[in-house]
Amino acid sequence: MSHLPTRSFQAYQVFAANTNVGKTILSTGLVRAAAALSIGAEKQKRAATKAFYLKPVQTGYPVDCDARHVKTYAPLVETSRLYAYPDPVSPHIATTNPPPDSEVLQATVNAIRSFKQSLGHGDKGWALLETAGGVNSPIMSGELQSKFYRPLRLPTVLVGDSHLGGISTTLTSYESLHQYGYDIPALLLFDNKSRNHEFLERYLAKAENRPLIHVLPSPPEKLADPKADAEQLHEYYKKTESYFKDVVQELEKNHEKRLDRLEELGEKARTSIWWPFTQHQTVKEVTVIDSAYGDIMTTYVPPPTSVATTSKEETKKEWRWREMFDGCASWWTQGLGHGSPALTQSAAYAAGRYGHVMFPECAHEPAVKLTETLLETVGDGWASRVFFSDNGSTAIEVALKMALKASQDRYIGLGEATGRIEVLGVDGGYHGDTIGAMNACSPNVYNAQVTWYKSHGHWFSPPTVVYKDSKFKITIPTEMTSTKEPVQVTIDNLTSVFTEPSAKDPRLEIYRNHIRSTLVRLTRDEKRSFGALLMEPVLMGAGGMVWVDPMFQRTLVEEVRAFKGFGTQVEKFKNAHVPVTNQWKGLPVVFDEVFSGCWRLGRKSAADMLQVNPDIAAYAKLLTGGLITLATTLTSDSIFNNFLSETKTDALLHGHSYTAHPIGCAVANTSLQTYRQMESHGDADKARQDWGAINHPTSGNSLGVWSLWDQQVVDKISRMDIVEGVVPLGSVLAIQMRETNGPSGYASLLSQTVQQKMREKASVEEGGDAEVAIFGRPLGNVVYMIASQVSTREQLAKVERILLRTLEGPL
């Protein structure tokens, strides 16, 4: 992150509320004042300050040249100009061949880096990047500047509009920048008869992180005689130097305070916050996150213990920025990247329109629209109702209440023999941390220390799939085959794992026989009662990124729905007079798609990959693209009708204060619409082709199954001796490591070791930034990476190179 400010290098960007508001005049005054700080530095025994000016985009060149203006009136300043076009128009129409945004952004970063690297030992640097036009003026590609420069997130000096009507444009610009996460330490205006600064000072007095408002003398009117005009500008800059020096000094104070705050955050958090899933006694370093955008988190890290410093001030100088790829997708939430402008705008609009409003017996547009979208996408063909809650675990609690009530209403005396109603599931599944969701899981590390935990179910040991030695290998547990060693089936193509088996494939018969005999034993011999089949379809996340054989889960659903031994049915279903479609059979089938749903695995839902419709399904995490918490439980009328009566106590008595909050619903709508557009536009066609999904003979209209991760890289990892197998599905890449020296499973420290090494490694690109690392979370012996749905191939290639270097090195 060599473009970001440090103790010895300040960097700012200048935005303006409009064109022709004096942005270049004020920029020149600032860098000129910064450069003036070098004068007499040696005599005063202080570090010299070297000033820099950067103009990434210039139109009207060479007649207009802001960098030339700066050099003329501030000759001590080093200037640079990157892209110049002759027509004096907006950049988006200045060229018919616009460079890619990524190229322009990298060129900007490289320019700031070169400024920084040119500093002598002990020198200080002061850099200013001047944007073009107003805050929301477009660059060459048509992207708005406010969005384009956001990945840099340099502290921003906003030049306000001092003219009549300028209050509105200034506040609009300020709010736009603030909404996108910019820090604005200073707002500059010229002093004139409009006195806009007086209103702005009153209005922004209570603003969060309010900027310091500086009022500077207005420049002289431009003269027709170029020589006379230049002379009066020289005089203007000379007379106003003290004003600009005051601004520069205030900016430096703000700069130092900002870094002080960041350096204190880690210790403050360590002594006051109780982190989830964390053994505090073993925490060695707190990751201080300053901001995040796209797949990247910008962190501020202390010097390693190996770096010796003699004082607190020396230690401060050794803190560094580190750019980290969010390899765990911030606990699997990131779908559209951090700081998504589209999600930010949706949230802001809903917050301004509604805030939060009551939901029972009420309707608001975001909730109704989201309901319609869900029923058209993940619920298409089976769901007719949507229940809102706040997180995945709660969504499962709701699903269980729905399913168990439906079963109790259908089967006479259900649960009377044992005093409880249980669930069927898959061993290793994880459904959340609330008590009901915990009890619907087999005993595991997450519920082992919970006193109230009591397992309520039977869990089938699943056949699993991994990619190992360039083949997809399905391992069938011995309890299904009555053999001493597990049976393995090998498949060549990813999409083929999800398609119907060949005649020689033994799995279908094995699965059917095992499931049928198990159901008979549980219900007839053991007299146990069941009210639901609950499972994570395709991929079990927190249980270790376990890829369950799709054929097994399909067969399990089919056999449960066909089984007649769950109880004696009532003669007439409750509310049978209400017409329904998709009447559930056997037991209500509940899919926990909190992790796998909403295009995580490359398709709209894991149910779509299985080609099996559930009766109830829970969605969260990617539902809102990674911005805010929200969860939904979808079901059909055949479940919903069990709660209908004239008595309120028969209703589903579940909810929370912020049910269907408009902000979350609006954000979720934007997220789902974006996922759908990406799919219809073929954004992942290259990845599909890479994995042989597009032209696969059985893929039909589904476009097959594929992975965002490079097939050749995955193949190479699959052939490593230290790897048991790889799971490449959609945005997920999970690597099961072979543990040889320590505990296995969740207790293994192997993935923690790998993740730590990936945090320390850097992807060094030619002309690129060397401070790129990977932030991941340990999961026992499983190393996993999760991309967002907007991750670029270039970004993932960097991650893959780091991953390969780590796995190929000593662990």
pLDDT digits (tens, 9 = 90+) for 117-162: 999 888 899 999 999 999 999 999 999 999 999 999 999 999 999 9
Q: Is pLDDT of 766 > 50?
A: no
| Residue 741, C-beta contacts closer than 8 angstroms, at least 6 positions apart | none
Per-residue pLDDT, averaged over 603-627, amounts to: 97
Query: In this structure, what is the dihedral angle of CA atoms 194, 196, 198, 202, given to the nearest 10 degrees?
Result: 150
Q: Is pLDDT of 770 > 70?
A: no
Which whole-number Å values give the CA distances from 422 to 433, 444, 454, 522, 530, in the listed order? 18, 17, 11, 11, 5
pLDDT band at 586 (very low <50, low <70, confident <90, very high): very high
Query: Which of these ranges, 213-227, 369-383, 753-767, has the smallest mean pLDDT?
Result: 753-767
pLDDT band at 535 (very low <50, low <70, confident <90, very high): very high
Provide the token pair at 46: 């202080």
pLDDT digits (tens, 9 = 90+) for 113-124: 999 999 988 889
How does DSSP assign 160-207, residue by residue?
---STTHHHHHHHHHHHHHHTT----EEEEEE-TT-HHHHHHHHTTTS
Per-residue pLDDT, averaged over 768-790, amounts to: 84
Per-residue pLDDT, averaged over 6-24, amounts to: 95
Strand pairing partners for 85? 59
Q: Is pLDDT of 233 > 80?
A: yes
Q: Is pLDDT of 317 > 90?
A: no
**For helices 507-520 and 550-562, angle between their N-to-C axes, nearest 10 degrees:** 40
Residue with the two structure tokens 């890290």: 301
Q: Is pLDDT of 775 > 90?
A: yes
Question: Coil, helix or strand for 109?
Answer: helix
Strand pairing partners for 458? 424
Provide the token pair at 39: 């004068």
Question: What is the pLDDT, as a whole number, of residue 699?
Answer: 46
Q: What are phi and psi of 95, to 5 degrees?
A: -145, 150
What kind of architecture, by CATH, is found in domain 9-272? 3-Layer(aba) Sandwich (3.40)
Question: What is the pLDDT, as a whole number, of residue 632?
Answer: 98
Question: What is the pLDDT, as a whole number, of residue 614?
Answer: 98
**Residues forming CATH 3.40.50.300 domain(s) in the chain:** 9-272
**Extended strands (E) in 264-319:** 288-293, 296-301
Question: What is the pLDDT, as a whole number, of residue 703?
Answer: 60
Per the omega criterion (within 30 degrees of 0), is the bond before 62 cis?
A: yes
CATH for 345-463+508-573+587-679, among 3.40.640.10, 1.10.565.10, 3.10.20.30, 3.40.50.1820? 3.40.640.10
Provide the token pair at 495: 């999409």
Question: What is the pLDDT, as a whole number, of residue 581?
Answer: 64
pLDDT band at 760 (very low <50, low <70, confident <90, very high): confident
Question: How far is residue 685's CA from residue 53's CA, in Å, rounded to a whole number?
Answer: 42
pLDDT digits (tens, 9 = 90+) for 693-727: 865 554 444 568 999 999 999 999 999 999 999 99
pLDDT band at 768 (very low <50, low <70, confident <90, very high): very low
Q: Phi-psi region for residue 584, left (φ > 0), alpha (ψ -120 to 50) or beta?
A: beta
**Residues forming CATH 3.40.640.10 domain(s) in the chain:** 345-463+508-573+587-679
Q: What are phi and psi of 461, to 5 degrees?
A: -70, 125
Q: Is pLDDT of 544 > 50?
A: yes
Question: What is the pLDDT, as a whole number, of residue 765?
Answer: 46
Query: Which of these ranges, 117-126, 248-257, 576-585, 731-740, has the smallest mean pLDDT?
Result: 576-585
pLDDT band at 746 (very low <50, low <70, confident <90, very high): confident
Question: What is the pLDDT, as a whole number, of residue 348?
Answer: 97
Per-residue pLDDT, averaged over 31-48, amounts to: 72
Question: What is the pLDDT, as a whole number, of residue 700?
Answer: 46
| Residue 407, C-beta contacts closer than 8 angstroms, at least 6 positions apart | 414, 421, 530, 531, 532, 566, 567, 587, 588
Question: How far is residue 709's CA from residue 381's CA, in Å, rounded to a whole number?
Answer: 31
Give the residue with greater pLDDT, 282 vs 538. 538
b/e per residue 268-284 (b: at least 16 CB within 10 A): eeeeeeeeeeeeeeeee
pLDDT digits (tens, 9 = 90+) for 660-678: 999 999 999 999 999 999 9
pLDDT band at 752 (very low <50, low <70, confident <90, very high): confident
pLDDT digits (tens, 9 = 90+) for 466-487: 999 999 999 999 999 988 888 8
Query: Which of these ranges, 258-272, 304-318, 797-811, has the smallest mean pLDDT?
Result: 304-318
Give the residue with greater pLDDT, 154 vs 571. 154
Q: What are phi and psi of 277, to 5 degrees?
A: 50, 40
Per-residue pLDDT, averaged over 493-506, amounts to: 85
Query: Which of these ranges, 311-325, 518-532, 576-590, 665-679, has the smallest mean pLDDT?
Result: 576-590
Q: How big is the chain, counted in residues?
A: 811
Question: How far is residue 121's CA from residue 539's CA, in Å, rounded to a whole number?
Answer: 54
Per-residue pLDDT, averaged over 311-329, amounts to: 88
Question: What is the pLDDT, as a whole number, of residue 500?
Answer: 78
Per-residue pLDDT, averaged over 585-595, amounts to: 98
Q: Is pLDDT of 201 > 90?
A: yes
Q: Is pLDDT of 418 > 90?
A: no
Q: What is the percent of the chain where pLDDT is above 90?
A: 80
Question: What is the pLDDT, as a whole number, of residue 46?
Answer: 57
Q: Is pLDDT of 779 > 50?
A: yes
Query: Which of these ranges, 40-44, 413-417, 500-504, 593-597, has the smallest mean pLDDT?
Result: 40-44
Per-residue pLDDT, averaged over 98-114, amounts to: 96
